[in-house]
Amino acid sequence: MTLLSGLLGNALLSGGVLALAGMGELLAERVGVLNLGVEGLMALGAVSAVITVASTHDAGLGVAASLAVGAIAGGVFAIATVLARASQVLCGMALTMGGLGLAATIGRPFAGQPSAATFRPMPIPLLDQMPVLGDALFRQSLPVYLAYLVLPLALHLLLFRTRHGLTLRAIGENPAACDAVGIRVLPLRFAYVVLGAALSASAGAYLTLGFVPSWSDGVTAGRGWIAVSLVIFAGYRPWRIVAGALLFGLVNALGYLAQARNWGVPSAFLSMLPYLVTLLFMIVPALLSRGRPGATAPAALGLPYYRDQR
Amino acid sequence: MRTYTVQRVPSVSGRVRTGATLLSCLASVLAAGLLLALLGLHPAALGLQVLHQSLANRYGLEDLALLAAPLAMCGLSVSLMLRVGLWNIGADGQFFVGAAGAAWIGLYGPSWSTLPMLALMGAASMTAGAAWIAVPALARLILGTSEIITTLLLNFVARLGIDWLVTGPWRDRASSVTAQSPRLPVAIPKLPRDWHLGGMHWGLAVVLALACVLALAFRFTRWGYELRICGANRNAASYAGMAVNRRLLEAMLLAGAVAGLGGMLELAGTVHRLQSGLSNGYGYVGIIVAVLAASSPLGVVVTGVLMALVLNAGTVLQTQGVPSSAAVALVGLILLSAAVGERLANYRLQRIPPAPRPGQAA
Amino acid sequence: MARTELLIRPLVQLSGITKSFYGVRANQSVDFSLAGGEIHALLGENGAGKSTLMNVLTGLYQPDSGCIAIEGHARRIDSPAAAIEAGIGMVHQHFKLVSAFTVAENIHLGWNETPFRAPAALLEARTAALSRRFGLAVRPSARVGEISAGEQQRVEILRVLARGARILILDEPTAVLTPPEVAILFAALRAFRAQGNAVILISHKLGEVLEIADRVTVMRAGRSIETCAAQGASRASLARLIMGDTSLPPMQESGRAVADDAAVRIELRGVTVRDHRGIALLDNVDLQVRAGEVLGVAGVAGNGQRALSEILTGNLRPDSGTVLLDGQAVAHPTPRRFARHGIGHIPEDRLRTALAADLSLAENAVLREYDRSPVARGPLFVPGRARALAVRIIDDAQLDRRDPSLPARNLSGGNQQRLVAQREARIADRVLVAAYPTRGLDIGAVASLHAAMHRLCARGIGVVLISEEIEELLDHADRIAVLFAGRIAGILPASDAESERLGLLMSGQALVPDAPDRDPGRAA
């Protein structure tokens, strides 16, 4: 039974990265901005967290640093895409390359060393005594609970139960309609792109302080891109993003298990699994629901907003 | 009362747009220089050193051409898809599988003489590259799945696949290096020694010829016109009776084939062994090469050289104790400024004419 | 100058409004005043500056100079929110609604009285209450994307009224309405006026303006030309004010009886088209387009016009039924095949369908002839010849921008339409299918387009004119087919048709039992 428990625990832990990054991306996409820079944001968040804990030995400060750095990088991205209305695809690619390059450059002295502080487990009393599930689910660290319960709940309530959420979703659907009723489209877009970027960057801190836990060049390994795809096939809904993240965590954990137990599959193929599974999820559901409109993207996703359209 | 205001003009000529894009790229390079100055380095001296090393002697020029060739191939691949309004973020993966296809022929194929062998390797690389983009292409056309993400995901798969090949079945057991294939039996011949770029292989000529052929095809064939219309407005293209999906599929498969051929040229001309370091993110740099060139094939050759200079700067920086990854960051910065500059070209500082007195004639 | 000597203090006073865009003055020292308790029509050609003026009043644009006073107090309206605050509400021509949202969500969007916690049930209950209070029937839980244009308009009006608007601006409100719906709208506007509120009505339909407006202001070339009482004005006098000195080409004969034995160019037999949900867009349609006639197609937008024009041009395949070109059944209709056969197509949404806005005029002008001589030589495309052909098309279309390398985006809407019309008329050897070809055109351009249409007819070419303006059809069509809910509700000769009868057909309240004299003789 420790096998199952370990598998579940590992799945939960590794899926958390995707859950955080995906919810960050969700915020940006819901207000109509496609941020393809998640991978770069994660790298920046990861490296800033590692550097911060190296001198402070405080994981909380590390997360705070990643949030701040993510907000700054997101601010640059938002200036380019929301205010200057540059191509969101290009700026996202630029953020990915710039973030990866910058993170590798400033992180070089720290590469390969174990992080100086990591998340501490926070057992939930009573529940952690449960057989199998207790170990797997209820002896995790605070960020895991945040990523799986608190944040999705908060985002769900915000987006679908409040006046403000109505406004946010409308901005992603039809900014001109929002403008006409007096909603300030660009400031709100800007704010939520920055907030989303901060959240995505914190996924990097989670990676280097909770999951791996050390910095090395390429530690993000395409997780940012998987998070972007996750948002799409989760139909832009917080709970489904979390469920999808857990699923990917499971795929990951199975890979580790296979490697540890030496099932005879070359490790390269095991490492391919997450990407192939993502690809599968991008294609198969669409294939099955052909002709029927499924969960659709916000209608104005990727389009810059100009008041005087011509 | 305000007398000046910033206004947006609906469209600007290609020349203005290109000018604004290049200007803002220059600005970003200057900004990066400023950053280096703040770190206590001498950006002007470094810049001169980069130019000197790359352009002042024939070895530098050769290296530059060797680096520019794969960048231009990836740039051509990306620009082919940009023609029809699609993004090829997966040129890196297509480059790798193209190289792998060529290596397979080279290592395990027939033992013909050099030229037919190279032709067969080229064909294999193009087939492999096209096959690699086929799934994203079909998903895009049939299901509307974003080609950006699907092509990108396959980059990771391709790299891991190459890793497996060169550490497993295709590993060179005679060598102590653990992650490369044996040396290929054939290589692309070098240009004549007395040419200015002697030492560079004939692959360079292939790149230039391909750029010219594409430029001619885009401008002087009905196919090129149809691609242009399909890229600008798919509805208008099908309204005019064009086979839109077919044109898109052709553009995508061709893009994959071009990137794959780029991998073959790099393998058979420069590296001679399949290895994980074959592409240093060329596919990603290819995006900016294509964007800076406004997806013009001949422009891609020029911007390919420019970006090769930037990557060379990374090598020079390395000698100064700055990690080579700084060059990747610089590429990102340039791409961001290019994207912003392209849009800022539409803005003009406009003087507001004084309001006429009432009753005055227009 | 405007004669606005009103004794009462105006509800809205715009003074000396000037606004320019990239050097072009869209508004030039415009004065405009609106009194409480009036319906004030704002008239003018496209580009006369009406929209700019209204965008200034609703806070979307900031004027370069000039000021706004509401109830005698100067007021800065620097954002749409400030305009709403000042009691100004606008119902746009292209509705500004979120189509993925429900009616209730749209009503409550961006409204400061929306409760912070906003579950769907609460919003729907509040919407139902508002709907009763203002007497505008809407279904709170329906998705906006799935309701009729008329209901969408009610949602927009309700949204504006709920926010306490006293000044209602309506831009071309009747374009999407059936005649009975127009009557309901006008009744609501009169009730609104009776409470001391005011309405600004932008419209091209002069008859309507004379029916409901109290005063009329005419704009031309960015200036306010004249304000006068609607009483005593006539359609002719208003048209003269709108047009200025330009004279109209003489009106063509219409309603000619085209001989019954004229060749049938296109025939539809029992054609049915369904959308992806299986709903019939066209339902068992029989129709003939004859050589040398103008076949008008009347109906409220959204009753199958798009599908009909696409079927007639090969852009759509019927799910059942047959399409015949010159008596030959077409097994696999494609746009190319129809174009080759000499069928031109002016689609309803030119920017979305007929033009590539980012490409040059030259590239757009040759879109229909790029694959034939002289532009094409085998698989080759000869840019020089393409350019020469483009210059000719641009000249014939009398565009105001003649540089063929200019992007099509730079043309005004009217000039884009002229380019498309000229291009399509060139290939239309047999039939020209024109969907709303006069949309967005000035009165003068409309007249020359109609003249061009009649010239085609005189050459024996059949013209299908899809329009929602009954007057246009009565003036120019020989026969009028009425579309309702994807079916042909009736086909009348234009000489027998009256607007009331057409109105009834358009709203589905009457069906003409297959006018037997017009029934196609079923001979292949």
B231 inside domain: yes
B239 inside domain: yes
Interchain pair C109, A177: CB under 8 A: yes
Buried b (16+ CB within 10 A) or exposed e, C185-208: bbebbeebbeeebbbbbbbbbbeb
Residue A182 to chain B, least CA–CA distance (Å): 22
The average pLDDT across C271-281 equals 87
Q: What pLDDT band is residue B228 in, cutting at 50, 70 and 90?
A: very high
Using a pLDDT cut of 90, give the percent of chain C over it.
53
Interchain pair C29, B10: CB under 8 A: no
pLDDT at B14 over 90: no
Interchain pair B332, A310: CB under 8 A: no
B275 inside domain: yes
pLDDT of residue C257: 57
- Residue C256: what are its φ and ψ, rounded to 5°? -65, 145
Using a pLDDT cut of 70, give the percent of chain C over it.
92
pLDDT at C111 over 50: yes
- Residues B359 and B31 sit within 8 Å (Cβ to Cβ): no
Residue A95 to chain B, least CA–CA distance (Å): 6
pLDDT at C512 over 60: no
On whether any CB of chain B is under 8 Å from the CB of A292, the answer is no
Q: Which of B328, B331, B344 to mutate to test the interface with A (most CBs of A within 10 A)?
A: B328
Residue B285 to chain A, least CA–CA distance (Å): 9
pLDDT of residue A135: 77
More confident residue, C238 or C159: C159
| Identity of the residue in B149, B335, B343 whose CB atom sits nearest the CB atom of A229 | B149
| Identity of the residue in A161, A173, A310 whose CB atom sits nearest the CB atom of C118 | A161
pLDDT at C511 over 70: no
Interchain pair C79, A181: CB under 8 A: no
Peptide bond into C374 cis (omega under 30): yes
pLDDT at C66 over 60: yes
Query: Which residue range(s) make up the domain with A23?
Result: 2-309
pTM (two decimals) = 0.90
Quick one: angle between helices B244-265 and B58-83, nearest 10? 160
DSSP B109: S
Residue B334 to chain C, least CA–CA distance (Å): 25
Long-range residue pairs from C44-48, CB within 8 A, at least 24 positions apart, any chain: C44/C218, C44/C219, C44/C220, C44/C242, C45/C220, C45/C242, C45/C243, C45/C442, C45/C443, C46/C412, C46/C413, C46/C414, C46/C440, C46/C441, C46/C442, C47/C412, C47/C414, C47/C442, C48/C219, C48/C220, C48/C221, C48/C222, C48/C242
pLDDT of residue A24: 97
| Identity of the residue in A163, A291, A307 whose CB atom sits nearest the CB atom of C116 | A163
Q: What pLDDT band is residue B192 in, cutting at 50, 70 and 90?
A: confident
pLDDT of residue B351: 67
The average pLDDT across C40-58 equals 89
Strands (E), chain B: 4-8, 347-351
Rounded Cα distance, B233 and B235, in Å:
5
Interchain pair B164, A266: CB under 8 A: yes
Q: How many C-alpha atoms does B245 have within 13 Å on its Cβ side?
A: 8
Q: In total, how many domains does chain B have?
A: 1
pLDDT at B360 over 60: no
B17 inside domain: no
| Identity of the residue in C65, C314, C382 whose CB atom sits nearest the CB atom of B1 | C65
Q: Mean pLDDT in chain C?
A: 86
CATH code, domain carrying A300: 1.10.3470
Q: What pLDDT band is residue C500 in, cutting at 50, 70 and 90?
A: confident
More confident residue, C255 or B66: B66
pLDDT of residue C519: 39
- Residues A89 and A33 sit within 8 Å (Cβ to Cβ): no
- Of all residues in chain A, the one with the smallest CA distance to B10 is A310
Report which of B23, B144, B92, B7 is spatially closest to residue B263, judged by C-alpha positions.
B92
On whether any CB of chain B is under 8 Å from the CB of A277, the answer is no
On whether any CB of chain A is under 8 Å from the CB of B143, the answer is yes
On whether any CB of chain A is under 8 Å from the CB of C410, the answer is no
Q: What pLDDT band is residue C242 in, cutting at 50, 70 and 90?
A: confident
Give the least confident one: A123-137, B45-59, C508-522: C508-522
Residue B58 to chain A, least CA–CA distance (Å): 30
Q: Which of C316, C338, C359 to mutate to test the interface with B (most CBs of B within 10 A)?
A: C359
Residue B51 to chain A, least CA–CA distance (Å): 22
Chains in contact with chain C (at least 3 beta-carbon pairs closer than 8 A): A, B
DSSP C292: T
Q: In total, how many domains does chain A have?
A: 1
Residue B221 to chain C, least CA–CA distance (Å): 4
Express each pLDDT in C437-471 by its tens digit. 887 677 777 888 898 899 999 999 999 999 888 88
The average pLDDT across C162-183 equals 86
C residues 267-286 lying closer than 8 A (beta carbon) to A: 276
Buried b (16+ CB within 10 A) or exposed e, B69-78: bbbbbbbbbb
On whether any CB of chain B is under 8 Å from the CB of A94, the answer is yes
Interchain pair A182, C96: CB under 8 A: no
- Residues C155 and C106 sit within 8 Å (Cβ to Cβ): yes
B263 inside domain: yes
In a 3-state reduction of DSSP, which class is residue A88?
Answer: helix
pLDDT of residue B302: 94
Q: What pLDDT band is residue C278 in, cutting at 50, 70 and 90?
A: confident
Express each pLDDT in C487-498 by its tens digit. 998 898 888 877
The average pLDDT across B206-232 equals 96
Interchain pair C109, A180: CB under 8 A: no
pLDDT of residue C4: 44
pLDDT of residue A294: 54
Rounded Cα distance, A30 and A164, in Å:
12
Q: What pLDDT band is residue B197 in, cutting at 50, 70 and 90?
A: low
| Each residue's pLDDT expressed in tens, for chain A with a length of 310 residues | 577 888 888 899 999 999 999 999 999 999 999 999 999 999 999 999 999 999 999 999 999 999 999 999 999 999 999 999 999 999 999 999 999 999 999 999 999 888 888 888 888 887 888 877 777 788 888 999 999 999 999 999 999 999 999 999 999 999 999 999 999 999 999 999 999 999 999 999 999 999 988 999 889 999 999 999 999 888 899 999 999 999 999 998 888 888 888 777 888 888 899 999 999 988 888 888 765 555 678 999 989 998 865 4
Report which of C171, C148, C168, C146 is spatially closest to residue C157, judged by C-alpha positions.
C168
Cα C316 to chain center, whole Å? 23
Burial of A262 from C-beta contacts in 10 A (0-12 / 13-18 / 19+): exposed
Give the least confident one: A29-33, B230-234, C41-45: C41-45
Query: Which residue range(s) make up the domain with B91?
Result: 70-293
**In this structure, are strands C294-298 and C479-484 parallel, antiparallel, or unpaired?**
parallel
In a 3-state reduction of DSSP, which class is residue B49?
Answer: helix
DSSP B12: -
pLDDT of residue C225: 86
